[in-house]
Each structure stands twice: as structure tokens, then as C-alpha cells.
Structure 1
Amino acid sequence: VSSCNIAAFNLGNAAGAWFGGLLLTAGVSLSHIPLAGACLTASGFIIASVTLSPLKGSQA
């Protein structure tokens, strides 16, 4: 379980770096990269919340 947690953390770091590089290549200003990262984080939080919400009601 611990190794899966570390692997997910590293995957998130790699995906964020890739996404930031993709935006820079597309011509987005460097000052807008943190905003894009915040939006990516918020979307991940929303997806996790929606995905895990049915599990919360099924626990007794």
C-alpha cells in the first residue's frame, strides 16, 4: 500500500511537469502555469470526490 501511494505521488509530479511543459510549448505565459496547476488540482479533487461519494453511503 505504501509503494502505491508513493507511485501515485510520483505519477502526479510527472503529469504536472508534462502538463506545464505542454502549456509552455503552446505559448502560455510562465505566470499562468500556477493557475493551470491549481485548476488541474481542483479537477482531480472533484473527480475523486464524485468517484468516492457512492462508497461513503455503502459503509455500515
Structure 2
Amino acid sequence: MSANSLQELDEMAVKLDATVRALPDESGRDDLLQDIAKFRAELLARLPSETLKTRGDKP
């Protein structure tokens, strides 16, 4: 899988995380957040370091 595909998946996971955080604080929400965090950690571990710049980083 290419770095661009992994980065797109991470961006989708960020959006999913935001959506889950907007849900009522009921059972299952924390489990979803933990699953998303694990998924993102796995994605980030596979991304080359040069693609990990945050939006605030300058070239």
C-alpha cells in the first residue's frame, strides 16, 4: 500500500474519531475511540517519516 493511500486512511480515521467524539457519552463510545486510536497507530507506524508533517509544519 502506498504512503498516499495510508495517509488518506489516516485522514479518514481522524474524521471518524471526530464523529465518534460527538456521540453521546454512552457505553461503546470509549471502545470505538480505542479501536480508532489503535488503527491510527498502525497506520502511522507504516508511513514514511516525511509524510508525518502536521499542517503547521513549514517546509
Task: Pick the TM interval, shorter chain.
Answer: 0.3 to 0.5
Query: Which of structures 1 and 2 has the larger relative contact order (alpha carbons within 8 angstroms, sep 6+)?
Result: 2
TM-score by length of 1: 0.43
Please identify which structure carries the higher helix content: 1
